[in-house]
Chain A
Amino acid sequence: MLKKEVWDALKRELECLLILGAIPLALLWDRLVVNFGWEFRDIFSGIFITTVIIYAVYAGATIFQSEKKDRAFEYLFSLPLSRWKILQMKILPRIIILILLVIILILFFNVDISIFGITFLVLFFVSAFLSIGINSIVINLIGVFMLYYVYEFLWKILTYFFDSKNISIPGSLGIITFQLFATALLLVPMGIAFWLTFKKMDVKPMKLQMRTYYAIVLPTLAVLITFITLMFKKYLLDY
């Protein structure tokens, strides 16, 4: 099973790497039209980082893609595999490839990974946690896009909130701390909702199995968005 999942994850990454084909087009665009003097290295790093972001979202959105496409949930659930084992086999290869890509970014592209690393994981897990009830990858991507903004606002508002209470952590450590805090506030309830739904999931239509998921995720998002809105108003008044 692991072999299949590793191959699936690699296929997703290879599909994302197709975007690198845009490099010659970008060079041509620069040489023939805009003349900004872009170097190959600049274009390559920009596009490569984009592929990693896309991979993080795409790999998360497609963890159950083969089961959905091939109607293989019935086969998968008839196998003597615990739900925890299935989840491990699905998530581990994808996360390992994501970490390898992040290592490449650190080694070759001088990216501030202390900040970006958390973002990649947030994108992956938000996408994976949404994928359980969403069949369309496009709708999943829209959901990830919206929740990413919740996360972005959340950690910035948290920074402001604690700052206003005279609790501040300087530099990158502060950013990482509040990003981790925001990540936990968003991902822990989503993860619990995902796990409880997946643990009891069977081959009934998914819309009949999402009650627990919605009962956890929707109030969580309502609380987080209300908090962001209230704090944002206060923040605007202060400044």
Chain B
Amino acid sequence: MLEIKNLGFCYGKTRVFKNFNLSIAEGQVCLITGINGVGKSTLLRLMAGVLRPAQGEIMFGEKLGGDPRRKIGFISDILSLYESLTVTQAIDYHKSVYDISAFDETLIKHTKIGYGQKIKELSSGQRTILHLSLILSTEPELLLIDEIIHSIDAYLRRVFLEQLVQLLTKRHITVVMANLNFHDIEQLVERVILLKAGEIAVDEDIEALKTKVKRILSESPPKSLNILSKIDYSDHSEYFVYPFDEKSRGTIAGEVVDLNLTEIVTAFIGGEYA
């Protein structure tokens, strides 16, 4: 579906990516994460075509056709829409550009958005819903979602995620998300990509990652295991280790605890700041 080869990109003299490579298979749901400023949003913008690589190329599968943007749904972290348009005008504009007749009202009907309201009058959550509705109306094959879902309330987030699950089940769309609310999307994510200094530090399937990242409650650091980060308490410490080897379980003096996606990502990011 998506192949990035030798990608190079910089903002002026600040290099973000150099010889970056990534391949995402059709129908996969990927989470791109990493500390602030590592290039997650930049990577999504490069995939969406709103930033141009300084070197290398981003190739899309044949399914996306001549102009891949027709089949890419991109919602960025800055909610870029024409704010002076009304909701109806924005819908008409989007429909005319994509040459589609129907607008997907599934999300918007759950909100109190008025069709005559100007976009600048909407809250950031309402704008997100409108933008997602516009994107879903075009039936994208590749959905790129930057960390914006936080801005919508819990109910609408659930409605959106339910719709996303339907799309994943029925149409096998590919989804790439950056640093979302991990708790909400844990059931959807299949692959986690951790960026560090413009390179991929970790690239694992979610199930593999759950077996490899553990929390160890112990008074002393576990020997022969790589510690990502730790939290000290008065009588013991929590050590987040990666990669954890099941064979070493018996030799560890302490309790080994499984982690959920939020805890795993927090452990990696905590390690970056340590």
Contacts and interface: CB of A to CB of B under 8 A. Distances in A.
Interface bin, chain A: 20 to 34
A78 interface: yes
A78 B51 contact: no
A57 to B, nearest CB: 22
A204 B72 CA distance: 20
B81 A72 contact: yes
B11 A81 contact: no
A202 interface: yes
A208 interface: yes
Contacts of B229: none
Given A4-B89, A80-B70, A80-B98, A75 B82 contact: yes
Interface bin, chain B: 20 to 34
A25 interface: no
Contact of A70 (B49, B70, B83): B83
Contact of B97 (A1, A73, A74, A203): A1
Contact of A73 (B12, B49, B80): B80
B12 A74 contact: no
B96 A1 contact: yes
A72 B93 CA distance: 13
Nearest to B12: A208
B111 interface: no
A3 interface: yes
A74 B82 contact: no
Contacts of B67: 80, 82
Nearest to A2: B96
Q: Which of A4, A70, A74 has the most CB of B within 10 A?
A: A74
Q: Which of B11, B67, B89, B97 has the most CB of A within 10 A?
A: B97
28 contacts: A1-B96, A3-B92, A3-B96, A66-B82, A66-B84, A69-B83, A70-B80, A70-B81, A71-B78, A71-B80, A72-B81, A72-B83, A74-B45, A74-B76, A74-B80, A75-B81, A77-B50, A78-B48, A78-B49, A78-B50, A78-B72, A79-B69, A80-B69, A202-B45, A203-B51, A204-B11, A204-B51, A208-B12
The 8 closest A-B pairs by CB, nearest first: A74-B80, A80-B70, A75-B80, A70-B83, A80-B69, A77-B50, A80-B67, A202-B51
